[in-house]
Amino acid sequence: LFAGQSEFVKGVVAMSGLPPADRIEVCFAGRSNVGKSSLINALTGTKGLARASNTPGRTQEINYFTQGPDLYLVDLPGYGYANAPLKIVEKWQKLLKQYLSGRQTLRRAFVLIDARHGVKAVDDEIMKLLDTSAVTFQCVLTKADKVKAAEREKVLAQVRGALARHPAAFPEIVLTSSEKGDGIPTLRSIIAHLV
């Protein structure tokens, strides 16, 4: 599945702009700067496909990428970005909520959590939203290369505790580094099994 080409399809700012629901999709949600776009680049093996940047709030649209003929990878705008103007934040949040609860072909939402920081209140909010929509979500820890083993175990325990409160959570947590490639084959295989 991930041997094929990946291409940018479009950036969407309203539900009416979503591409036809003609194949399944998985999406990547998470706080601003957690590494969503970088993870898509690592999964597809295409540097610069999704725009990653150190400036939080880089991805401001729902960006669609193809992966082979049967799958869309969907890069979502980050949430919890304090410095964006309130009007814009509200617009993103509304779109995010509409998307997460209303996309028929969405097979799984990956909720990305920084391996240094664990689950924050805003992540919990998104998980609550996912509990009420028809889609299972799964946690992906990002930036694993930035934490030592002891700290990682502490964060993993915190994330497990948080997931236990969410009925829509898939129990397996995937530890990744887009920089070093850790966990990328595992995540590819998880996604391939959903198609």
- Cβ distance 20 to 66 under 8 Å? no
Residue 177 touching Mg ion (CB under 5 A): no
The count of C-alpha atoms lying within 13 angstroms of the C-alpha of 169, restricted to the half-sphere facing its C-beta, is 22
- Cβ distance 51 to 27 under 8 Å? no
Q: Which of 49, 47, 48, 45 is nearest to 74 (CA)?
A: 49
Residue 63 touching Mg ion (CB under 5 A): no
Contact with ligand GTP (CB under 6 A) among 118, 177, 183, 191? 177
Residue 30 touching ligand GTP (CB under 6 A): yes
Q: Which of the residues 110 through 139 are near Mg ion (CB under 5 A)?
A: none
Residue 36 touching ligand GTP (CB under 6 A): yes
CB of 166 to Mg ion, least distance (A): 24
Contact with Mg ion (CB under 5 A) among 37, 41, 138, 178? 37
53 binds, among Mg ion, ligand GTP, none (CB under 5 to 8 A by kind): ligand GTP
List phi, psi (to 5°) of 158. Answer: -65, -40
Q: Which of 154, 150, 87 is nearest to 119 (CA)?
A: 154
Number of residues that bind Mg ion (CB under 5 A): 4
Residue 59 touching Mg ion (CB under 5 A): yes
Tokens at 31, concatenated: 């706080």
Q: Which of 86, 92, 102 is nearest to 63 (CA)?
A: 92
Positions in the binding site for Mg ion (CB under 5 A): 36-37, 58-59
Positions in the binding site for ligand GTP (CB under 6 A): 30, 32-38, 52-54, 56-59, 78, 142-143, 145-146, 177-179
